[in-house]
Amino acid sequence: QVFLCVTSTLSMAAFRDHFVLEDLVEEMKKQSLALDFGPLQPDGQIAVRGSFPALRELREFLLFKAKSLSEEDKREGKSQQRLSRKLQEHRGATELRNSTGAAHRETEVVVLDTDIYHYMSSFLPKTFQANDVVISGVPDGDITTVCIESAGSRAGAALRVRRMIENSSVELQKVLRKERICLEEHSRGERQRYRQLCERLKALHPEVLVLPRDTHIDLVGTAARVLGFTEDLKR
């Protein structure tokens, strides 16, 4: 199994007051021909499957839609309450900056395949370590959202870290492979034996990431490393 695509669940509820969601989904499908869309759920959620670049393009399209709605609300005078709240938040943030002397904050977000995120965290931990930034990852199924916040004096620090993470992810997608060992048809004792064997083999194959789950075990690494692990496991 190679890292060609992921599945993401989108919530369209925020657009319900401005669009007929079914029409918006149809527009999304025309905008993103490379993506596969699941059925629109009653709560406004929809599953979307495709490559990372295609999902990023869809994200930019939805952000543009949201920005257009915000500008329209301002023109029509519908956002007075929202504007007042933002002013209060801005005033509070300004007072906090003045009292603590904190520098300008920058925030960047990057979406990664969850298995690649775990691989990077285990074998390339310095990717998520940098001066003047705080990096946090939130796994959600097949994808993980990584938030990069900068409060230091160096302008553009968060952006540079985001680009570094994206570049590392792209390179790993080219060389990594995932092998899934299904355990659903095995008894509880057999599942435990597989997990114990994998734990012992980790010492012989330190370059392979072992991710045990309830119904399966995922192995992540280069094709040669994963093959060597699975052959030892079969023996």
Q: Are residues 201 and 159 in the same domain?
A: no
Domain encompassing residue 139: 107-176
How many CB atoms are located within 10 Å of the residue 128 CB? 19
Give the three-class secondary structure for 3.
coil
Q: What is the pLDDT of residue 47?
A: 85
Count of domains for the chain: 3
Q: What is the pLDDT of residue 197?
A: 92
Residue 76 or residue 67, greater confidence = 67
- Model confidence at 2: pLDDT above 70: no
Name the nearest CA neighbour of 172 among 120, 133, 125: 120
Q: Are residues 167 and 188 in the same domain?
A: no
Q: Are residues 223 and 200 in the same domain?
A: yes
| Tens-place pLDDT, residues 209-232 | 999 888 889 999 999 999 999 999
Give the model's confidence band at 30: pLDDT under 50 very low, under 70 low, under 90 confident, else very high.
confident
Name the nearest CA neighbour of 162 among 134, 138, 140: 134
Q: What is the pLDDT of residue 83?
A: 45
Structure tokens at 180: 């899934």
Is 25 a member of any domain? yes
Q: If residue 183 lies in a helix (H) or strand (E), which one and from where to where?
A: none
- Model confidence at 233: pLDDT above 70: yes
Q: Are residues 168 and 114 in the same domain?
A: yes
Domain end marker among 130, 161, 176? 176
Q: If residue 224 lies in a helix (H) or strand (E), which one and from where to where?
A: helix 223-234
Give the model's confidence band at 119: pLDDT under 50 very low, under 70 low, under 90 confident, else very high.
very high
Is 146 a member of any domain? yes
* Displacement of CA 124 from its chain's centroid (Å): 17
Q: Are residues 153 and 199 in the same domain?
A: no
Task: List the end-to-end C-alpha distance of the chain, in Å, as a whole number.
Answer: 22
C-alpha span between 29 and 57 (Å, rounded):
12
* Domain of residue 117, CATH code: 3.30.70
Q: What is the pLDDT of residue 100?
A: 42
Structure tokens at 122: 């285990």
| Tens-place pLDDT, residues 146-194 | 888 887 656 788 888 888 988 888 888 888 998 988 888 888 888 889 8
Give the model's confidence band at 121: pLDDT under 50 very low, under 70 low, under 90 confident, else very high.
very high
> Do the beta carbons of residue 109 and residue 148 sit within 8 Å?
yes
Is 160 a member of any domain? yes
Domain end marker among 142, 176, 210? 176
C-alpha span between 234 and 144 (Å, rounded):
32
> Do the beta carbons of residue 195 and residue 217 sit within 8 Å?
yes
Side chain identity at residue 66, one-letter code: A
Q: What is the pLDDT of residue 123?
A: 93
C-alpha span between 33 and 54 (Å, rounded):
9
pTM score above 0.75: no
φ/ψ of residue 40, rounded to 5: -75, 125
Q: What is the pLDDT of residue 18?
A: 81
The contacts of residue 176 (CB under 8 Å, 6+ apart) are 2, 3, 115, 116, 119, 220, 221, 222
Is 199 a member of any domain? yes
Q: How high does pLDDT run on average in the chain?
A: 80
